[in-house]
Structure 1
Amino acid sequence: MSKTILLVSGAAPPIIDGVGHYTARLLETLRAARPGWRWVWLTRKARWFHRPIASFRGVRIVRPAHGWYGAAPWLAGRVVRWVRPDLLHIQEQTHSFYETDAAIRIAHSARCPVVTTLHEFHGELPSCRHTVALVERSAAVITNDGRTGRRCAEATGREPDAIWWSPSNVPPLEGASRPRTKPGLVTTFGHINALKALDAVFAGLVQLNHRRPGVRWQLIGPVPAPRERYTELLRSPWVEFAGPWPDLYDMRLRRALAETHVMLLPFLDGATTRRGTLQAAWAFGLPVVTTAPELTEDAIVPEWNCLLVEPRDAVAWAGAVERILTDPALEARLRAGSAETARKYSWNQLASLHLSLYDRLLGASA
Structure 2
Amino acid sequence: MGLKIGLVTGEFPPMEGGVGAFTAELAKALHQLGHTVHIITSREARPPDAPRTFTSALEPIAIDFAQLHPRLNRWRWPSLAVIADIVLRHELDVVNIQYQPAAYNMNSAAINFLPWRLKNVAKTAVTFHDLRVPYLFPKAGRLRQTAVNFLARSANGVITTNPADHQSLISNLQSPVVNIPIGSNITAHTTNHIEIDEIRSRLGLKPPAVLLGYFGFLNESKGADVLIEALAQLDGRFHLIFIGGQTGASDNANNQAFLDGLRRQIESLGLNERVHWTGFLSDARVSAHLQAADMLVMPYRDGASLRRGTLMAALAHGRPLITTTPTTPTPQLQSGETCYLVPVGGVGSLATAVQTLTNDEELREKLGHGAAKLADQFSWEKIAAETAVFFQTLLSNGF
Please state whether the residue corresponding to 2:165 is helix, strand or coil. helix
Counterpart position of 2:309 = 276
CA contact (8 A) 1:45 1:65 kept: yes
CA contact (8 A) 2:75 2:111 kept: no
Q: TM-score, normalised by structure 2?
A: 0.82
Q: 1:222 aligns with which of 246, 250, 257?
A: 246
Please state whether the residue corresponding to 2:148 is helix, strand or coil. helix
Give % identity. 22
Mark the runs of 5 or more structure 1 residues left unpaired by the alignment. Answer: none
Please give the residue correspondences for 1:1-366 in structure 2 after superposition, counting only pairs within 5 Å.
1-34=1-34, 37-46=35-44, 51-52=57-58, 53-69=60-76, 71-99=78-106, 100-110=108-118, 111-123=121-133, 126-153=143-170, 156-157=172-173, 161-174=177-190, 179-180=195-196, 184-209=210-235, 213-220=236-243, 221-223=245-247, 224-226=255-257, 227-229=259-261, 230-233=263-266, 236-245=272-281, 247=282, 249=283, 251-365=284-398
Cα deviation, residue 364, structure 1: 3.6
- C-alpha spacing 1:358/1:159, structure 2 compared with 1 (3 Å): closer
- C-alpha spacing 1:360/1:228, structure 2 compared with 1 (3 Å): closer
Please state whether the residue corresponding to 1:225 is helix, strand or coil. helix
Mark the runs of 5 or more structure 2 residues left unpaired by the alignment. Answer: 136-142, 201-208, 248-254
- C-alpha spacing 1:39/1:199, structure 2 compared with 1 (3 Å): closer
Counterpart position of 2:140 = none
- C-alpha spacing 1:148/1:83, structure 2 compared with 1 (3 Å): same
Q: Aligned pair count?
A: 357
CA contact (8 A) 1:77 1:105 kept: no
CA contact (8 A) 2:196 2:289 kept: no
CA contact (8 A) 1:309 1:317 kept: yes
Cα deviation, residue 278, structure 1: 0.3
- C-alpha spacing 1:283/1:178, structure 2 compared with 1 (3 Å): farther
RMSD: 2.5
Q: Residues of 2 paired with 1:157 and 1:365: CA distance?
A: 18
1:321-354: per-residue Cα shift (whole Å, max 9, x none)?
1111111110111000110011112212211211
Q: Residues of 2 paired with 1:90 and 1:228: CA distance?
A: 32
CA contact (8 A) 1:178 1:255 kept: no
Cα deviation, residue 47, structure 1: 6.5
CA contact (8 A) 1:81 1:109 kept: no
Counterpart position of 2:206 = none
Give the AA of the match of 2:382: Q
Cα deviation, residue 33, structure 1: 1.6
- C-alpha spacing 1:47/1:168, structure 2 compared with 1 (3 Å): closer
CA contact (8 A) 1:80 1:109 kept: no
Cα deviation, residue 273, structure 1: 0.3
Cα deviation, residue 123, structure 1: 4.8
